[in-house]
């Protein structure tokens, strides 16, 4: 029986689209039960709806109670009873209530070779530091900022003259298949989480 997966997005949903395409093409044997977002205008939600996947939004308004938002997000995800939660361009840090329920069952993708350059500006920070190699990391979500146990990584060379957009796009080209392959591996093999 296919594992139930919920994907969380904040933006355009290109990582989500890679998952949707892999499922449609039979390369990923999961039941994509829902896509959630913290932003009602996230294009990833439109991608999910176009694929016939249920969607939900748990918006975090400026100045809102983060603990209440965390509980609301936990409950919205729990309503779909997932075996695995995937952060695919989800730009929020989940809190204690969420992790109490889904700790050890949520993975995330980051556009840098963790533990280097955590946070929302991983690509920009890597370029500013002058590294010759960057890449992407898939990891288990924990209470820190991009500090969870690393599952998979893929290196991407930094080319002379690279802009943030250039490097971001080259990272996404390897990040998409790496995320799909990682989901496939985790949903085939039970209890591989830390």
Given a contact cutoff of 8 angstroms between Cβ atoms, the answer to whether 176 and 20 are in contact is: no
Considering 43, 80, 110, 129, which one is annotated as catalytic?
A: 110
With residue 78 as reference, give the H or E element that holds it.
Answer: helix 66-78
Task: Compute the distance between CA of residue 61 and CA of residue 100 in angstroms, rounded to an integer.
Answer: 23
Q: Is 43 a catalytic residue?
A: no
> CA–CA distance from 17 to each of 21, 33, 37, 54, 87 (Å)?
6, 14, 14, 14, 13
Half-sphere exposure of residue 57: CA atoms within 13 angstroms, side-chain side: 15
Cα–Cα dist 85/74, whole Å? 11
Q: Which residues of 107-132 are buried (b: 16+ CB within 10 A; e: fewer)?
A: bbbbbbbbebbbeeebbbbbbeeebe
Helix (H, G, I), strand (E, B) or coil at 75: helix
Are 110 and 146 contacting, i.e. CB atoms less than 8 angstroms apart? yes
Residues recognised as catalytic: 110
């Amino acid at each position: 029986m296919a594992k139930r997966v919920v994907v969380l997005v904040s933006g355009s949903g290109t990582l989500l689209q890679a998952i949707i395409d892999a499922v449609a093409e039979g390369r990923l044997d999961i039941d994509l039960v829902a896509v959630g977002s913290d932003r009602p205008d996230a294009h990833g939600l439109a991608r999910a709806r176009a694929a016939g996947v249920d969607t939900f939004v748990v918006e975090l308004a400026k100045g809102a109670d983060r603990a209440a938002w965390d509980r609301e997000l936990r409950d919205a995800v729990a309503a779909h009873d997932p075996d695995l939660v995937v952060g695919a361009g989800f730009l929020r840090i989940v809190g204690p209530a969420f992790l109490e329920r889904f700790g050890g069952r949520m993975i995330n993708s980051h556009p840098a070779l963790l533990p280097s350059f955590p946070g929302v500006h991983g690509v920009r920070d890597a370029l500013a530091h002058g590294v010759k190699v960057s890449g992407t990391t898939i990891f288990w979500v924990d209470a820190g900022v991009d500090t969870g146990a690393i599952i998979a990584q893929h290196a991407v060379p930094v080319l002379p003259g690279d802009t943030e957009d250039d490097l971001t796009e080259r990272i996404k080209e390897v990040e998409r298949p790496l995320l799909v392959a990682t989901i496939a591996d985790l949903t085939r093999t039970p209890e591989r989480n830390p």
